[in-house]
Structure 1
């Protein structure tokens, strides 16, 4: 694609892109600071604890947690090892597939998520929702899923066999 084919951003789009880029860089850092200061926890650890605590099942396969968080399995695998060493999760054999395992919250993990959740929800409410009007909430509810769909990797289409 040559420069003449490029659909350059107009001034308004460029300004919006700069705001979005700043948000993408700043919000995760602010969230990490909040979790670290208030709960001595990383955002990844909190995310895993939240998925496990909100599940109807007492334990999940790591692949299910990775899918829920839309994370790469190797990223999750390293984090789970650290969380197990900290005593936040437990591993047990998978009852359906003995080759695999499932993860669940330890008592310490339950305690950690119960203590972290109120302060984290307060952070999310104050930094995201309280500063927006109901109309702005609605705009984000419409816009963000469309953006996520546009950036989500698609499975390659299968080629029919001859």
Structure 2
């Protein structure tokens, strides 16, 4: 068995800063959405993805990929959104095994309300505390990470 490629001190510092900062940011965003709008970040992400889709509808399998959730977790999250009247599910007319998640008008209105507060929180705790150059670097870096992980799967 070969020796692990250990992180040097700078890499370890940067890795931990990423873990600590991203965890705290995600927790803050989740708390804020729940307190102000009764939505988790997972629920919010599903509403966003559906709002951007043609006809505000996506197959569940495609939505799971976009929302970075397992199909099982997505199903539970959609069940909560259905109980709130924000999403409905329908069978695919040309594929008996397929199911569409569809953003309701009520769901779109809830998203519009939540998005106003959410963008301010994202700006206050992320965008506005990072230089424009660093923000672009973060976008490039995590675009590369995402692309690499998708290629490995």
TM-score of the superposition, structure 2-length normalised? 0.89
Q: Which one has a larger percent strand, Structure 1 or Structure 2?
A: 2
Q: Report the Cα distance in structure 2 between the residues aligned to 1:35 and 1:147, rounded to whole angstroms.
A: 27
Q: Runs of 5+ in structure 2 lacking a partner? A: none
CA-based RMSD of the aligned residues comes to: 1.7
Name the CA shift for 1:94/1:8 in 2 (closer, same or farther; >3 Å): same
| Dislocated runs of 4+, deviation >3 Å | 149-153
Residue in structure 1 matching 2:64, options 63, 66, 73 = 66
Q: Does 1:37 align with 2:35?
A: yes
Greater share of helix? 2
Aligned residues between the structures:
153
TM superposition shift of 1:152:
4.1
1:148 maps to 146
Q: CA deviation at 1:113?
A: 0.5
Question: Is there any run of 5+ residues in structure 1 with no aligned partner, and where?
Answer: 156-162
Hey, what's the Cα distance between the residues in 2 that align with 1:114 and 1:100?
Answer: 28
**TM-score, normalised relative to structure 1:** 0.85
SS at match of 2:55: coil
Cα distance in 1, alignment partners of residues 60 and 78 from structure 2: 9
Of 118, 135, 138, 1:137 maps to 135
- Higher Cα radius of gyration: 1
Per-residue CA deviation, residues 59-116 of structure 1 (Å, 9 max, x unaligned), is 2211111111232111101111121112111122212213432121122212210110
After alignment, is 96-105 or 43-52 more displaced?
A: 96-105
Paired residues for 1:11-160 under 5 Å: 11-152=9-150, 154-155=152-153
In structure 2, the partner of 1:160 is none
CA distance in 2: counterparts of 1:98 and 1:6, whole angstroms? 48
Shift of 1:142: 2.1
